[in-house]
Structure 1
């Protein structure tokens, strides 16, 4: 293996140094090949160190195996002696026990000698067998020590070249793929839902928030995958745009809240500053301003939160929510232009209604002091509408990109696995 790796490293080196091909693409390939050549060279050193460590261990293992085989053969021979001596000891003991009382002293000493010899043989053989066991344990210890030396040498080689997989390769990459896939799908689906159902009280805000959180998670995963080369950086750019548009949308929402809270006081101030007059024109204007003020006061608000739904008690939750729902639906269906319809559908219906009220208030008011209060707010409303419309356009583009990608993935044939590619 190390020899093959060395050959590959040499060929990569020839590619890097070859002057025959010159172009930007070739230069890029050379740059990547140089990094690859360095990694391959480092891998060669690892495999050489591993091969040396395994070779030394193989020699130690062979020596241990030969020693164990020799000890086994000797132990078998000793065990045979023990078995024979044990049999002889049993026979001699029986002979001594069954010896006739009239036997001579010489016969008695002869049988006693057989028994003593058998006992001595058994004892000596057992001592020898124990020595063989001790030698085998030492052989095992030597083998284990050789194995540990090989393990330490392999570990040192792996630590020295820093080619081992880290947490990213072990589990981080798979986690990033899963997060990118799941969170990206959630962000795309909820983003489309927020564009179409943003006008629905509570649901629209929940969809937008879910899309933003899922988009942020997918962005983090996509950045990691892009650095690893598994994801295109354009996907990261789209993710950043999605997160930025959510932040910009919050800015628009805060501006819309300011307009909403300022609308009724501004209308009241316009009535007060216009005042009564004997002029029929001014009185007609004053009547228009008062009518507009009444319309603003009685206009149902289409924005409602969970806390706001329970503000009048849990019994009134349904009535509160349905009132906001009907008001929001009326804003979508009664929009004066396609742009207003898009804004209302995306949840900016109150901004459109408030800006229209300011514009109408400005058109019927003639007193300079009243106009000083109304004109800046009207201008601010138009600015916020333009920003909101731009954000809706960006979100629609991102949603279209996501849908197009899903359609392309569905129509593209499945990528063959490594096993299938090898079978080809």
Structure 2
């Protein structure tokens, strides 16, 4: 069970009972349809051959759905009964939990008073009067009595909490037993999952695990993309995770599970995860290259080389001369390509320069004590940090376009880093918490594999999560639970 000792019991009795009533209503609807189908079978007044086939089909359908009636009826009964028992258990345990918090605080105060009273007796001077001794002893007795009374009340409250908690556990086991009978026990009536259903469940489980791996890789890649082989694997997995996120949001929107705004936000974050960092880095490199080329254009060749160096001049002219198509192509292939800084660190490790590589890596990924570490961690983009360091030089020509590109790259890097970290953490939390993702392999409409052929939200029109409401049942069976619409 998920209950925490001496705290209010988990579970929402009203929601559980509402779900139970819905199952019961479905069972009653099935019973009515069975009656109607039986009337068709029994109708002998119409002798047309088409009606003979209709009666035969009605009989076959009636037999099939009659098997499902007991499943819904017994599940509804189990949930309704459990909901009532859960309410009674909470009515007993929850007030006790609330009293315990107050009583324990009072006990601490009373124990402190008793200790003070005991010290008062021990500290009495030898020449204390009989009246003073009597007052000190009376105070000690009263304080000890108060402690004993509070301990007795705490014991009583704990007994009440244990009683309510035990009743909840018993009711949960009873409900589970009843549901198991119609799911996998003596009353399954041939409604077992097919081999294809089981295969889909396995694939769905594998998909969830892989999605979690991709979400973890999305976080680790930020810090370990420099590691030879591992860094490349992490980047690929992180890119796949972003692609999955984009597809999930599109599919959810198509199914009506999220609105247009939520879909745009999800897709936007996914696209940022794929291309945001490289796009911002490309803008930063352009701003840096533009300032170098335009500044060098006003200087002699020797003076430009002295200021920037031949290598920077060459690379800047090459970057500045790139076409829009080349820049876009560089961004599109970026999810699977490590940065120049990561490649340089990996090369140091490969060549045995471990000390230099470690310092370079630390300075690139974490704050102090390494130089530029704080900026690199906040921005998450080596190209932007290099651009900012370059722009701090004096004597550079920075026109309006360069200044705008510099601002976009700086602000964009901070936003992209924060959004990427937050989004990856949120995706990981959702995946670990049991999120279904796009539901590509979720249960179908067979009575054997889905609760009334659809998700709870669509069936009942009620808010809330049955997994949260039926605490005790779902804890036993795992996140999905039998009563969550996933048999």
The structure, 1 or 2, with the larger RCO (C-alpha pairs under 8 Å, 6+ apart) is 2
TM range (shorter): 0.3 to 0.5
| TM-score normalised by the chain length of structure 2 | 0.38
| TM-score normalised by the chain length of structure 1 | 0.43
Q: Which entry has the higher C-alpha Rg, 1 or 2?
A: 1
Higher helix proportion: 1
